[in-house]
Amino acid sequence: MGGEFEGVVRPRRVPRTRGGQAIVEFAVVLPLFLFCLIGALDAGLWAVQTSAEVSAVEQAAMIASSAGSSPTSQAAPDALAVTAAISGRLRTALFGTTVASWCTKDASGGCAPDTGQRCPSTPAEVQNADGPRVVVVCVSEADPPACTTPPPGRPTPYPPGCQDSPVITVRVVGFVASFVPPGFGAGAGAFELPTNISATTHTLRFAP
Amino acid sequence: MRRSRRRGDDAQAVLETALVIPILLFLVCNFVAVMVQVTVQEQLNSATALAAQSRFQAPENAVDPSGTRCCGAPGASLATAGLPTGCRYAAETFYGTMTTYTGLLHWQSAVLCTSGGDSGNAGRPPSPPVAYVGSPSNAEVSCDIGSVKSDGVVVPGYTDRALNPPAGLEVVTCSASASLDFANTPLAWGVFWTPTLHAQAEALPPPFRQ
């Protein structure tokens, strides 16, 4: 018995329906698996980027609060100088994202002093101005109101807070690169997530 | 016989998928939640550190005049009249920096401005900081200022800054606590814990202070 075929193992035929079932299972599981994998990767990436932004903004606030042109200056510290001080740290973490300084461009394309001292309030504002996957560093200064003669019965100094030192706000705002595909997440476009981190501090100001 | 076995295989596959997918999503949700917690903790540390340093940007011995208010939670600004101006500066810095993720945080209310505090030693029991008169108690940050001992006694060999401020300088310690709540986020589906975050920072005055 057996003859010439003895010892040969024939592969068992897989039913066609079972092969189809495997493909369907694979098609269902693959997107879920990719969703979880990319979600976890993106969460880690986002945490690293945000962490770098928080520490950079803190450092920038300290620099900005002591880097005015003079102790009695009424102008905000130079945004370019502050950006240059922290951009190295930001670029290390924000791969795929452009780091820029928020300032008014002059005729030669350079940064003119920002007389308005207004930072973008939303990441979308940065996207409209500078394109996708760009974060800007913005430095603004809020000066206290001028002191005036108080009305009768009101204590000096008047108005309250008129002798305060200016408040410096450093903001890193825009969209950072991520794995979020088009149509998902909070990004305005594809492969980006919004960020808006700020730090505020009072400046050290000497009496004039 | 063969048909019932195939049906059993199908049911097993469905069951496996139904078990694995929620577990996978649960893990991803918790991973994202941990990332959020780390980020918020960093921001809390940063806000507290800047607040402590900001206290020294105010002129020494400056006191807020009557009618002065500042910052605070929406609709609940803090009255700081009669308090050291540095306290208001610290609060303004804290609230100005802690601007994101605030919807996830439940703050533990604290007295904005305290003074004193003594962690004690072998011969003296610890004493808690005393609130400044009129200091608001609904603040989200608390700064203990002016921790120089009134008698100026230096305890030899003791490194606690509250007991032995370096060269007799003031030490400011700011702290804040909040719990992170994911209940109103999509992560609530798989995150069942509510971590409590705490940050504390200390600052010394700059030598060129006014």
Q: Is residue B145 part of a domain?
A: yes
Mean pLDDT throughout A57-65?
A: 86
Whether the per-residue pLDDT at A1 is higher than 50: the answer is no
Q: Is residue A5 part of a domain?
A: no
Whether the per-residue pLDDT at B116 is higher than 80: the answer is no
Q: Is residue A95 part of a domain?
A: yes
Q: Do A169 and B96 touch (CB under 8 A)?
A: yes
Q: Do A196 and B100 touch (CB under 8 A)?
A: yes
Measure the CA–CA gap between B209 and A204, rounded to whole angstroms: 8
pLDDT digits (tens, 9 = 90+) for A151-202: 887 777 778 778 788 888 889 999 998 887 766 666 556 788 889 999 988 8
pLDDT of A7 reads 58
Whether the per-residue pLDDT at B208 is higher than 60: the answer is no
pLDDT of A112 reads 61
Q: Is residue B96 part of a domain?
A: yes
Whether the per-residue pLDDT at B155 is higher than 50: the answer is no
Q: Is residue B210 part of a domain?
A: no
Q: Give chain A's radius of gyration (CA, Å).
A: 29
pLDDT of A135 reads 92
pLDDT digits (tens, 9 = 90+) for A29-58: 888 888 888 888 888 898 999 999 999 999
Whether the per-residue pLDDT at A208 is higher than 50: the answer is no
Whether the per-residue pLDDT at B199 is higher than 90: the answer is yes
Query: Is the pLDDT higher at A16 or at B192?
Result: B192
Q: Which of A114-118, B51-55, B136-140, B177-181 has the highest mean predicted lDDT (pLDDT)? A: B177-181
Q: Do A51 and B28 touch (CB under 8 A)?
A: no
pLDDT of A86 reads 87
Total structural domains within chain B: 1
Given pLDDT bands bounded at 50, 70 and 90, which one contains residue A16? low
Total structural domains within chain A: 1
Q: Is residue A2 part of a domain?
A: no
Q: Is residue A9 part of a domain?
A: no
User: Is the CB of A104 inside 8 Å of chain B's CB atoms?
Assistant: no
Which domain range does residue A146 map to?
A: 15-202
pLDDT of A108 reads 67
Q: Is residue B208 part of a domain?
A: no
| ipTM above threshold 0.95 | no
Which domain range does residue B11 map to?
A: 2-203
pLDDT of A5 reads 54
A155 chain-B contacts, CB cut-off 8 A: 65-67
Query: Is the pLDDT higher at B146 or at B183?
Result: B183
Name which of A140, A195, A78 is nearest B99 in CA terms.
Answer: A195
DSSP for residue B74: T
A105, β-bridge pairs: A111
Beta strands in chain B (DSSP E): 69-73, 76-79, 105-107, 113-118, 127-131, 142-145, 172-180, 196-203
Chain A: give the shortest CA distance to residue B129, in Å: 25
Q: Do B50 and A169 touch (CB under 8 A)?
A: no
pLDDT of B40 reads 94
Name which of B110, B103, B116 is nearest B165 in CA terms.
Answer: B116
In Å, how far are A68, A140, A175, A184, B72 from A116, measured between CA atoms? 17, 9, 23, 35, 26
pLDDT of B108 reads 93
Whether the per-residue pLDDT at B147 is higher than 50: the answer is no
Contact B56, B205 (CB under 8 A): yes
pLDDT digits (tens, 9 = 90+) for A100-133: 888 776 676 666 655 565 788 888 888 888 888 8
pLDDT of B107 reads 93
Q: Do B43 and A206 touch (CB under 8 A)?
A: no
pLDDT digits (tens, 9 = 90+) for B26-55: 988 999 899 999 999 999 999 999 998 888
Given pLDDT bands bounded at 50, 70 and 90, which one contains residue B158? very low
Whether the per-residue pLDDT at B2 is higher than 60: the answer is no
pLDDT of A57 reads 92
- Which of A63-77, B38-52, B60-74, B94-108 has the lowest average pLDDT? A63-77
pLDDT of B54 reads 87
DSSP for residue B39: H
Q: Are strands B142-145 and B172-180 parallel, antiparallel or unpaired?
A: antiparallel
User: Is the CB of A59 inside 8 Å of chain B's CB atoms?
Assistant: no
Chain A: give the shortest CA distance to residue B207, in Å: 12
